[in-house]
Amino acid sequence: MTPALELEASLYRALHRGRPGDVDFYRRAATGAESVLELGAGWGRVLTALDAELPRAVGLERSPALAAMARADGLDVREGDMRAFDLGERFDRVFIPYGGVYCLLTEEDLVGALRCARRHLMPDGLLVFDAWSADAFHAEAEAWDEQLFEAVDEVEVNGERFSVSERTRWRKPQQRLDVSYRFTPTAGGESFHDELPQRYLLTDELPRLLERADLELLVIHGGFDQHVHDEESEQLVVTAQRPA
């Protein structure tokens, strides 16, 4: 792996630290399961906890650099694309944590991933995914196009500190929110850029999308404390089932 790819993966890892309570939520969602598959496993943040408790925990990740990081920590993370994959086995649970579903930029990509998730589930097995809740944001009357870079965080990688700024472009009709990150070494030097295109989902769409993948929507929670989702909710936490 080139040093540039390694640095990009390390910056990604330093910035994407998850949401409070999400790892515990997924541990609870795995109660009674023997096997779990995580799609978009990243560097193994959630899978590490699942791997410690379950006989079988497998991850799938598109980024070779992030998958390599997870494997270096002893996790079984394969390189692959959740829109089309076949691992040749079935799991009690399939999880897509922390906005992984928003990385799927068209409805066909999303339905492709949901169908693959279904094929990898045992009968009655559960698919669980979470992302930020977009309903209230989408309902905002005034859509904006592009913002200026705005400082959002500071991270440290290999002893070097970087200030992180973010710029988003919102295309409301497409439900697209394209985020650009700029990482600037605080000691001076060249900045790095990373792009995170997202297509967010609205709760109204979920029954139809899941049905297209022959999955049954069981519940939509509004947070990891499992309150029922409403318009105030900050999280969208979806549980669906593969019919027997």
Name the residue number minimizing CB distance to ligand SAM. Answer: 40
Rounded to an integer, what is the distance from CA 86 to the centroid of its chain? 20
For 129-164, b/e burial (b = at least 16 CB within 10 A) is: bbbbbbbeeeeeeeeeeeeeeeeeeebebeeeebeb
**Does residue 12 sit in helix, strand or coil?**
helix
71 versus 185: smaller Cβ distance to ligand SAM: 71
Q: Which is nearer to ligand SAM, 82 or 215 (CB)?
A: 82
Least distance CB 118 / ligand SAM (angstroms): 16
Give me the least distance between CB of 110 and ligand SAM, in Å please.
10
Instruction: Report the residue number, 35 or 63, with the smaller CB distance to ligand SAM.
Output: 63
Nearer to ligand SAM, 104 or 210 (CB): 104
Q: Where are the beta strands (DSSP E) in 24-90?
A: 35-39, 56-61, 76-79
- In angstroms, give the least distance from the CB of 161 to ligand SAM: 22
Residue among 208, 191, 221, 185 at smallest CA distance from 22: 221
Contact positions vs ligand SAM (CB under 6 A): 16, 18, 40-42, 45-46, 60-63, 66, 81-83, 97-100, 103
